[in-house]
A and B are shown apart, each in its own frame.
Chain A
Amino acid sequence: MKPLHFKHALSDISNNRLLNIVSIITIAFSVIITSSIILFFTNTTSILNIWKKGVKVMVYLSPEVSNEDINEIQKKILGMYGVKDIAFISKEEALKVLKQQMKRQSSLLDNLKENPLPDAFEIHLIESSEVWEKIESLVSQVESIPKVEEVEYGQKWLARFSGIVYIFKLSGYALGILFFIASVFIVANMVRLVLYARRDEIEIMRLVGASDRFIKTPFYIECIIQGAVGGIIGLLLLFLVFSSFTSNVDQGITSDLINIKFFSFTSLSAILICSMFIGWFGCFMSLKNYMKT
């Protein structure tokens, strides 16, 4: 690539402003749609992960459970997929904790003839989305162990939410791919229109001894510039919408529980490279067919 090719590309852009603007708008639109999907899922995933860290599964045992049974149940649960660690909480320990929590009202518990609380296990899960997708099967596995009376995990909805996010994620990817293909085709058609408008010029260039490479390079530069400008405009607009959204959300919510972030520098660069690739690929598709003629 020589400075001359850039000069030709820039002069081509100024000569075909309307077509270039249409291509840039298309790429910008595609970047906005795809990036907002990515942004939404990046944030929901990170929020889910924060919430998941605090989640534990409580396993309550039946009153007639023996010490041997407790050891056996512990071993079984520890061997299950997704379990990070497990702690046994005896009913005496649980009562002690309850008394501490009740503070002044703890005297109410003093009159109890026997301890009504069950022995229990507290299970901590591995922080992985896969585990979360299978949490319900883990719970039903634990429930099926004899002498296990009840299994509880406070944020049952979190597992359901994870599932919904997963389905949305898949449709988001599909939508992203669809927009990518659509923009490539639109850019390709724009290049085709430019080629058609400039067919005489290209013919003259060929007649004076210009190689295909000499003719094609400015087109590639033009389309990569379109991709870059479209990408920058798309990301800027998305950032403006994002900023106004986050500034309107109650600051109390955006605490440690919900921490909404924009793209990192690496992600921004990756999106920009993708939008430039859309330009290049659209150009490649059109030129490939045109230059054969």
Chain B
Amino acid sequence: MSNGNNENNLIRMFHVYRRYGNKTALVDINIDIKKNEFIYITGPSGAGKTTLLKLLYLGEPISEGQIIIDGVNLARIKKNKIPLLRRKFGIIFQEFKLIPTKNVFENVALVLEAAGKQSRYIQKKVSSMLRAVGMEDRQNSFPLSLSGGEQQRVAIARAMAGDPKIILADEPTGSLDDDSAEQVIELIKEFHARGSTIIITTHDTKLIKKTGGRMIHLKQGRLWSPSNQH
């Protein structure tokens, strides 16, 4: 799965393992991801897709091996630098993870506030992001009053608000109906066209066929390709 040209690689994984006690969730993962690639990580439930994403944003520690993101070695990163690393990402979750006590505007603004942006910039940027995902008129609504598709659009606006280099989406359409799922994927494609690198976990093969992109398949925590199935 490694590409030859190192300079173009935004993410590099070398012999990565993730263990939980005696159980190994990821085994010897080696992947290179180039800037502006559109990647699907597929595989059945329990294959380690979400775990792999979590290792990228340090939601979980790496048990063995190395991951280098935009020149930063995650195995050696200091605790106080983790927020800076996470600002390189826009993360979209299957269950949206919006803060229920904050309204749509505040949820999106949070990313920019955390990054220390000025309030005037935040005002402008959040409005433009909400306009881009078609949620500008719902900016004062609270997440629980929105449909699943609307919540995911807000989550996408939040993920993109910080102009991240990489978008990580964990089953972004998993809890949505077909129409909403299509809208969400269209939005993600739009942001890919603006230059972001996209990594999506999914087991929805229809979606992959429709949109295209490189596919990385995981099976029982290992990289798997049709050629090594025997």
- What number of residue pairs across chains A and B have CB atoms under 8 A from each other? 48
- Which 9 A/B pairs are nearest by Cβ-Cβ distance? A210-B114, A209-B87, A209-B86, A211-B83, A208-B111, A209-B83, A201-B99, A15-B101, A204-B97
A214 close to B (CB within 8 Å): yes
Docked complex: A124-147 residues within 8 A CB-CB of B = none
* 12 residue pairs A–B, Cβ–Cβ below 8 Å: A11-B101, A15-B101, A200-B99, A206-B86, A207-B57, A207-B97, A208-B91, A208-B111, A208-B158, A209-B111, A212-B80, A214-B83
A205 contacts partner chain B, Cβ-Cβ < 8 Å: yes
Q: Does B149 contact A (CB under 8 A)?
A: no
- Residues in B whose Cβ lies below 8 Å from that of A208: 86, 91, 110-111, 114, 158, 162
Apart from A206-B83, A207-B97, A212-B83: 12 A-B pairs, beta carbons within 8 A: A11-B101, A200-B97, A204-B98, A206-B86, A207-B57, A208-B111, A209-B83, A209-B86, A209-B89, A210-B110, A211-B80, A211-B83
Question: Nearest B residue to A12 by beta-carbon distance?
Answer: B101
Interface residues of A in 201-223 (CB under 8 A from B): 201, 204-212, 214
Q: Is the CB of B84 within 8 A of A204?
A: no
Are B84's CB and A209's CB within 8 A?
yes
Residues of A within 8 A of B (CB): 4, 11, 15, 200-201, 204-212, 214
Complex: how many Å from CA A212 to CA B78?
Answer: 13
B190 on the A face (CB < 8 A): no
Tell me the B residues contacting A by CB distance below 8 Å: 57, 59, 80, 83-84, 86-87, 89, 91, 97-99, 101, 110-111, 113-115, 119, 158, 162
A206 to chain B, nearest CB (A): 8
Are A204 and B87 in contact (CB-based, < 8 A)? no
Q: Which residues of A contact B162 (CB under 8 A)?
A: 208-209
On whether the beta carbons of A209 and B99 are closer than 8 Å, the reply is no
Determine how close the nearest CB of chain A comes to the CB of B139; give it in whole angstroms: 16
Inter-chain contact B114/A207, CB cutoff 8 Å:
no
Complex Cα gap A200–B107 (Å):
13
**Contact partner, B115, options A201, A207, A209, Cβ 8 Å:** A209
- Tell me the interface secondary structure of chain A in the complex: helix
Note all chain B residues with C-beta closer than 8 A to A15.
Answer: 101
CA distance A15 to B89 in the complex (A): 29
Is the pair A4, B80 in contact by a Cβ cutoff of 8 Å? no
Cα A204 to Cα B91 in complex, Å, equals 10
Q: Find chain B residues with CB under 8 A from A204 CB.
A: 97-99, 110
Name the A residues within 8 Å of B113 (CB-CB): 4, 214
In the bound complex, what is the Cα–Cα distance between A204 and B111 (angstroms)?
10
Q: Is the CB of A207 within 8 A of B119?
A: no
A214 to B158, CA, bound (A): 18
Contact A205 B114 (CB under 8 A): yes
Q: Is the CB of A209 within 8 A of B59?
A: no
Identify which of A4, A11, A201, A210 contacts B83 (C-beta below 8 A).
Answer: A210
Residues of B close to A206: CB separation below 8 A? 83, 86
Task: Please name all residues of chain A whose beta carbon is closer than 8 Å to the beta carbon of B80 when the two chains form the complex.
Answer: 211-212
Q: Please, which residue of chain B has its CB at the minimum distance from the CB of A203?
A: B97
A205–B59 CB distance below 8 A: no
Contact of A211 among B59, B89, B114, B158 (CB under 8 A): B114
Question: Which chain A residue lies CB-closest to B59?
Answer: A207
Name which residue of chain A comes closest to B101, CB basis.
Answer: A15
CA of A79 to CA of B114, assembled, Å: 72
Residues in A whose Cβ lies below 8 Å from that of B91? 207-208
A7 to chain B, nearest CB (A): 9
Q: In the complex, how many angstroms separate the beta carbon of B111 from the nearest chain A beta carbon?
A: 5
**With A and B bound together, what is the CA distance between A49 and B176 in angstroms?**
80
List residues of chain B with CB within 8 A of the CB of A214: 83, 113-114
CA of A204 to CA of B93 in the docked complex: distance in angstroms? 11
Of all chain A residues, the one with the shortest Cβ separation from B110 is A208
Q: In the assembly, what is the distance between CA of A210 and CA of B113, in Å?
A: 8
Closest to A214 in B: B114
Contact B86 A207 (CB under 8 A): yes
List B contacts of A200 (CB < 8 A): 97, 99
A80 to B138, alpha carbons, bound, how many Å?
86
Contacts of B59 in A (CB 8 A): 207
B110 touches A205 (CB 8 A): yes
- Name the CB-closest residue of B to A201: B99
A204 to chain B, nearest CB (A): 5
Residue of B nearest to A208 (CB): B111
Chain B's nearest CB lies how many Å from the CB of A215? Answer: 9
CB distance from B53 to the nearest CB of A (A): 11
